[in-house]
Chain A
Amino acid sequence: MGNLVLDASTPATVYSATKPVTTASFTPPANSLLVVATACNTATATTTGPPVMSNSGTALTFTQAQHSQRSDGSPTCDRCATIFTAPVLVSAAMTVSATSAATGVAQAAMKVWVVTDDSGQLPTVGTSSKGAQNTGNAANQAFTATAANSWGFGVVDDWDAAGVPTAGTGTTITAGDAADQGAIVAYAFARRTTPDGSVGVSTSINVTLPVASANLGKVAVEIVPAVSAAVLPILVMSPPGRH
């Protein structure tokens, strides 16, 4: 069974006040999986769809895992948090861009994690979840793991921009992956500190807000090792002529 690894080619988080937001060039290895999270500003009381993803060079296939938008909240909750994955089969230098779908505002932040499996095979995507909240300082997003040693990644988008979120229990926010962009949007790109998923067990991306938000969205995705004990069959064969 392989083990998931966060690759050194992972680029830094980027924020832009204009469209699109674009990473600096990075070179993910072959058979790596890009886990791409975005936090976009939205116009007031406007439901905004996910951003449009693209990359330089040979086009990757970006698959949306989850998208949390205003109309998903009850009561409605201004924000736009999305998470995608994109397999990289051939290593090449590239940039990744996200063009926000918001009208009237353009600010967005993006995090690209480059995830590999030490077996050399391509990691896959397990389950995912999304949420919204209007109260409280705990901005946790849980999912039920589908594979042993899977890894949770997520994003919290605070439209109220009430301060810089911090990591909660079992969660890591790497330096530079959380910010408050001054009344525009505050965000945290977070992951489980280790690939600690356990089949059938609830796990959570835990984030704490300094001030409760009335407009917060959050999404999480489970990344699965290339070969997982949860799906590997055990086959016993008898030698011919012996029963």
Chain B
Amino acid sequence: MGGTATEPPANPDVQTFGDYLGRVIRITVSWSILPNGSGEHAITGVTVFRDAGCLFRKLFIGKGDDGTPDSTDKIVNVPVGTTILSAAQLNNLANRGVATIEDYKALQISVGDPTP
């Protein structure tokens, strides 16, 4: 139900995007069901996927100062196939304000940087 109704996000949370021909790029975020000291839920893993030929190559988490996704400081390059983000990549996201599923769901997730 809309309005101010809420429910916990799915675990894992999956966001799928398609280009004009339906070739997909996808981000899957897993998170801990046990809350941290602040009552939020730590992100435990991120997997990205891109179809061969998909025109979109980058995931944008959030927006930059100009209000556009392309200027965010949280960009994930997505190779063709399935890629599991490393611990270092997860730390980078956490250092830029995305450490919990609550942090993540508060931001717009988008894709772009189409190949010419």
Contacts and interface: CB of A to CB of B under 8 A. Distances in A.
Interface residues of A, number: 44
A161 interface: yes
Interface string A3-15: 0001111111111
Interface in B32-86: 55-56, 60, 63, 66-70
| Interface-central residue, B18, B25, B106, by most chain A CB under 10 Å | B18
A154 to B, nearest CB: 17
Interface stretch (A139-147, A178-186, A229-237): A178-186
Contacts of B60: 24
Contacts of B2: 41-42, 44, 78-79, 105, 159-161, 183-185, 215
A43 interface: yes
A16 interface: yes
- For the complex, would chain B's binding face be called helix, strand, loop or mixed by DSSP majority? loop
A192 to B, nearest CB: 15
A195 to B, nearest CB: 14
A175 interface: yes
Give the dominant DSSP class at A's interface.
loop
Interface residues of B, number: 39
B1 A105 contact: no
B17 A176 contact: yes
Nearest to A107: B2
Contacts of B55: 8
Interface string B6-48: 1111100000111111111100000000000000000000000
Given A160-B2, A183-B1, A184-B2, A174 B20 contact: yes
B25 to A, nearest CB: 8
B95 interface: no
A12 B7 contact: no
Nearest to A5: B20
Contact of B110 (A9, A17, A23): A23
A115 to B, nearest CB: 10
Nearest to A27: B114
A159 B106 CA distance: 20
A62 interface: no
B7 A183 contact: yes
Contacts of A160: 1-2
15 contacts: A9-B20, A12-B18, A14-B110, A17-B106, A17-B108, A21-B108, A24-B70, A41-B3, A44-B4, A104-B3, A105-B4, A159-B1, A159-B3, A183-B6, A215-B2
Interface of A: 6-18, 20-26, 41-44, 56, 78-79, 95, 97, 104-105, 114, 159-161, 174-177, 182-185, 215
